[in-house]
Amino acid sequence: MRGSRLMRLFGLLVALIVLAAACGGDDPSSEDSTDTTDEVSDEPILIGASLPLSGDFSEPGKGVQNGYEVWKEHVNASGGLLGRPVELVIRDDASDPNTVVADYERLITVDQVDLLFGPFSSFLTIPSSEVAEKYEMVFVEPAGSAPDVFNRGLQYLFYASTAVAQDQGNYWAEWVVSLPEGERPTTAAYPIVDDPFAGAAADGIREILEAGGIETVYREIYPPEQTNFGPIAAKIADSEAEIVVGGTIFEDAVGLVRSMQELDYQPKAVFLNTAPATTPGFKDALGDAVEGIYGPSSWASSLTTPGNAEFVETYTEMFGSEPAEDAAQGYTTGQVMAAAVEAVGSTDDQDAIRDYLRANSFETIEGTLSFDDTGAPSGGGYIILQYQDGEIVYLLPEDVATGTPVYPKPEW
């Protein structure tokens, strides 16, 4: 008796859900008809993105998400985009390249978002940008900077940052080469993780250093799942390289530094990709060993670009800590997209947005950005930072510098 009543209740529920779904399906068309009578709609603009909120890239993925949120907060507080409020639809791809593709398919076809933002990392940007291309939707992304992002002839992809992977260490490499003879190192080692982004970044530096006469005595690529760094560090130490340039991500950077430290190998300078700008994780993991380590960053809290101070302030209010680089990249992505959409005056004509992005330059918190035909930014390099007395100090370029390099680095 009870069972059958439950069943009936269940049936009723199912019927209700089906009915609700049917009404939901009707909704857009009915609102469309009101759209034609009223030019300005209150209907929110939906912006879709998939981010690695779990798995390998969860730390930076979360940072980008926070950046998107701060941007949304600012846009909505100042009257929205095209007078309409902005809503974010964010999916978690678990750092998995198959999931990220499925996520964007879903964002476009099921959620029917108006605009797209990119995921985090070149690794996830490469497959997901193909989806955006297929549906001819503009794909402004915060973190895909490897050569393979740009060499596939994509028309709708734009990397909202100041430099592509191979240029990110330019300022540092040029500074090393400019050191007076005697101080200038003569040999360098390049441990590199097998990742489309990290390899390009380290090799960009290597080309400049080699041209400046600094000999490469070690260059090896290790797999992303590498955990045992003792022997790698032993081989680098054995090469007696004077400086180390690591094409690293995070975990590997920590493993490398610890192993070099344990072998009492003391290079004059250590430049690592990505990890040093990951705050506070990098310092938490390494303690005093961070002293003197260099790294690149697309952004600095000390930048005097328009809106940067407000970004830092709102971020700190919303999340209780200072933003890191990844959040700034998310925010910059929003700024670039918003400027183009406002200029075009609609989200429907994606081709017009694309053409506008290609032809103009954009004021962002990272600086003024413009794009070439592949969607790569035409900037000179990333800001160079160094850990001094446990704090991040910005060294290059000179207009953002908050300190001068400590070279050679103190022993660890």
Partner 1 sequence: MSSHLLLQAVVLGVLTGGVYSLWSAGLTLIFGVMRVVNIAHAAFLVLSAYLSWFAYTELGIDPLLSLFATVPAFFVVGVLIQRLLLARLRDHVTMMSVLLTTALAITIEGSLGMLWTGSHRGIEISYSTSSFSLAGISFPSDQVIGFVLAALTFFALFMLLRHSRYGKALRATIQNPDAASLLGIKTTTIQGIGFGLGLATAAVGGLILGLIHPFFPATHWAWIARIMAIIVLGGLGSVTGAALAALLMGVIESVVLVTLSPVWAGMIFYLVLAGTLVFRPHGFFGGRLAERF
| Distance (Å, whole) CA 99 – CA 107 | 12
Q: Smallest distance, Å, CB 224 to partner 1? A: 9
Q: Smallest distance, Å, CB 214 to partner 1? A: 22
Tell which phi-psi region holds residue 208, choosing left (phi > 0), alpha (psi between -120 and 50) or beta.
alpha
Asked if 235 touches partner 1 (CB under 8 A), the answer is yes
Cβ-contact 108, 46 below 8 angstroms: no
Residues of this chain, 240-269, that bind partner 1 according to CB under 8 A: 250-251, 254-255, 258-259, 261-264
| Distance (Å, whole) CA 135 – CA 187 | 49
Tell which phi-psi region holds residue 95, choosing left (phi > 0), alpha (psi between -120 and 50) or beta.
left
Span interacting with partner 1, options 40-48, 165-173, 223-231, 370-378, rule CB under 8 A: 223-231
348 alpha carbon, distance to own chain's centre: 26
Residue carrying the six token digits 């160094």: 386
Q: Smallest distance, Å, CB 69 to partner 1? A: 16
Q: Which of 60, 197, 201 is nearest to 120 (CA)?
A: 60
Among 35, 238, 391, 411, binds partner 1 (CB under 8 A): 238
Q: Smallest distance, Å, CB 289 to partner 1? A: 7
Residue carrying the six token digits 């330019």: 170
Among 44, 80, 127, 281, binds partner 1 (CB under 8 A): 281
Among 207, 225, 349, 391, binds partner 1 (CB under 8 A): 225
Closer residue to partner 1 in complex, CB, 47/254: 254
Q: Smallest distance, Å, CB 395 to partner 1? A: 26
Span interacting with partner 1, options 98-106, 280-288, 352-360, 403-411, rule CB under 8 A: 280-288
Among 11, 28, 223, 380, binds partner 1 (CB under 8 A): 223
Among 41, 43, 44, 54, binds partner 1 (CB under 8 A): 54
| Distance (Å, whole) CA 4 – CA 196 | 59
First-to-last CA distance in the chain?
76
Asked if 285 touches partner 1 (CB under 8 A), the answer is yes
| Size of the residue set binding partner 1 (CB under 8 A) | 37
Strands 269-272 and 367-370: unpaired
Residues 6+ apart with CB under 8 A from 392: 276, 277, 279, 385, 386
Asked if 322 touches partner 1 (CB under 8 A), the answer is no
Q: Smallest distance, Å, CB 362 to partner 1? A: 31
Cβ-contact 311, 319 below 8 angstroms: no
Among 55, 79, 306, 390, binds partner 1 (CB under 8 A): 55
- H or E segment and range at residue 47: strand 45-51
Q: Smallest distance, Å, CB 275 to partner 1? A: 10
Asked if 390 touches partner 1 (CB under 8 A), the answer is no
Strands 45-51 and 115-117: parallel
Q: Smallest distance, Å, CB 250 to partner 1? A: 6
Q: Smallest distance, Å, CB 225 to partner 1? A: 4
Closer residue to partner 1 in complex, CB, 273/350: 273
Closer residue to partner 1 in complex, CB, 47/53: 53
Asked if 100 touches partner 1 (CB under 8 A), the answer is no
DSSP 372-399: -TTS-B----PEEEEEETTEEEEEESGG
Residue carrying the six token digits 């200072």: 322
Residues 334-373 as x/- pattern, contact with partner 1 by CB under 8 A: ----------------------------------------
Residues 6+ apart with CB under 8 A from 326: 60, 61, 63, 64, 67, 120, 142, 143
Give the largest Cα separation in the chain, rounded: 94
| Distance (Å, whole) CA 153 – CA 126 | 12
Q: Smallest distance, Å, CB 122 to partner 1? A: 19
Residues of this chain, 203-222, that bind partner 1 according to CB under 8 A: 220-222
Among 58, 76, 155, 216, binds partner 1 (CB under 8 A): 58
Cβ-contact 338, 347 below 8 angstroms: no
**List of residues contacting partner 1 (CB under 8 A):** 53-56, 58-59, 62, 194, 220-223, 225-228, 230-232, 234-235, 238, 250-251, 254-255, 258-259, 261-264, 281, 284-285, 287, 289
